Amino acid sequence: MDTDTSFLDVWNDVVSVQSAPPSYLVLATALAGLAVVAFTPAWRLARNVVTIAHEGGHALVALLSGRQLSGIRLHSDTSGVTVSRGKPTGIGMVLTVFAGYVAPSLIGFTGAFLLTNGRITALLWMTIVLLALMLVMIRNIYGVLSVVGTGALVFGVSWYTPDEVQAAFAYAFVWFLLFAGVRPVFELQRQRAGGRAPQSDPDQLARLTRTPATLWVGLFLLVNIAALLLGGRWLAF
Give me the residue spans of the domains in the chain: 42-236
Higher pLDDT, 95 or 3: 95
Phi, psi of 199 (to 5 degrees): -105, 25
Angle between helices 163-180 and 120-135 (to 10 degrees): 60
Mean pLDDT across the stretch 87-107? Answer: 97
Nearest to 31 by CA among 175, 229, 230, 184: 175
Residue-averaged pLDDT of the chain: 95
Residue pLDDT, tens place only, 175-188: 999 999 999 999 99
* Torsion, Cα of 80, 85, 86, 87 (10° steps): 60
**Cα 139 to Cα 115: distance, rounded to the nearest angstrom:** 33
Angle between helices 40-64 and 91-116 (to 10 degrees): 120
Band of residue 9 on the pLDDT scale cut at 50, 70, 90? confident
How many of the other CB atoms lie within 10 Å of CB of 135?
Answer: 16
**Cα 209 to Cα 91: distance, rounded to the nearest angstrom:** 9
pLDDT for the residue 55: 98
**Cα 217 to Cα 185: distance, rounded to the nearest angstrom:** 7
Mean pLDDT across the stretch 201-217? Answer: 97
**Cα 170 to Cα 176: distance, rounded to the nearest angstrom:** 10
Phi, psi of 162 (to 5 degrees): -70, 170
**Cα 184 to Cα 54: distance, rounded to the nearest angstrom:** 10
Band of residue 7 on the pLDDT scale cut at 50, 70, 90? confident
Mean pLDDT across the stretch 202-225? Answer: 98
Residue pLDDT, tens place only, 148-197: 999 999 999 999 999 999 999 999 999 999 999 999 999 999 999 999 98
Phi, psi of 101 (to 5 degrees): -75, -15
Contact between 166 and 14 under an 8 Å Cβ cutoff? The reply is: no
The SS3 of residue 100 is helix
Phi, psi of 38 (to 5 degrees): -80, -30
**Cα 13 to Cα 121: distance, rounded to the nearest angstrom:** 7
Mean pLDDT across the stretch 223-233? Answer: 98
What percentage of the chain carries pLDDT values higher than 70? 98
**Cα 111 to Cα 114: distance, rounded to the nearest angstrom:** 5
- pLDDT of 5 higher than 70: no
**∠ at Cα 128 (124, 130), nearest 5°?**
115
- pLDDT of 235 higher than 70: yes
- pLDDT of 3 higher than 60: no
pTM of structure: 0.94
**Cα 62 to Cα 65: distance, rounded to the nearest angstrom:** 5
Mean pLDDT across the stretch 11-15? Answer: 83
Q: Helices (H) and strands (E) in the chain — how many of each?
A: 10, 2
